[in-house]
Amino acid sequence: MKTSCCLYPGSFDPVTEGHLDIIRRAAGIFDRVIVGVLHNPDKKGLFPVEKRVEMLRRVCEDLPHVEIIAYGGLLADLTREMQIPVVIRGVRGMADLESETAMARINGQLNPGLETLFLPAASGKEDISASMVRQLAAFGADLSAYVPKKVLPDVLAAFSKSI
Ligand code: PNS
């Protein structure tokens, strides 16, 4: 089946410049990009899901073919329900590649026919992660290279309360 639609799933806690780069590149390939805020049981959340969705909507407002949703279940079920045949994941290095390959295989077993495509992190963005951003923010470091300008105040505000 040929497709013009993909799902870009993640925790997005918060959205980073690395995520935004993948979203923009996916939007250059697919007619419709659905960014899904999904639950990662291995990660303790900082922002509530509604806030992550709202921040993603703000940073993607200039991308007309990108929509943001939240989903509390399995990625395989979401893609089946919405009939999305392709998942996009960004890969920053070999460690990502290993875990992402396992996840892609499991998702393909749970939803046969679902394909996962990997986009390599752009040069200069391969070390950006939301967990790194959260840690830097907790220590008051400059986040301007890592977090989209439109959500920087939200990230700073989250930590100014907790310090
Ligand atoms: O940004 P992350 O934390 O790397 O994204 C991971 C995410 C949320 C895409 C993954 O944990 C996920 O798909 N969660 C939904 C539940 C699910 O389907 N888990 C099975 C994956 S094999």
CB of 16 within 6 A of ligand 1: the answer is: no
Tell me, yes or no, if the pTM score tops 0.85.
yes
CB atoms within 10 A of CB 88: 23
> Which residues have a Cβ under 8 Å from the Cβ of 91 and sit 6 or more positions away?
97, 100, 118, 119, 120, 121
The arithmetic mean of pLDDT across residues 80-96, rounded, is 96
Tens-digit pLDDT profile for residues 129-144: 999 999 999 999 999 9
CA distance 67 to 60: 8
Domains of the chain, CATH where assigned: 5-162 (3.40.50.620)
- Closest atom of ligand 1 to 12 CA is 1
Tens-digit pLDDT profile for residues 44-77: 899 999 999 999 999 999 999 999 999 999 999 9
What percent of the chain lies above the pLDDT cut of 90? 94
Q: Which helix (H) or strand (E) holds 50?
A: helix 49-59
Which of 7, 11, 100, when mutated, tests ligand 1's pocket best, judged by the most ligand atoms within 8 Å of its CB? 11
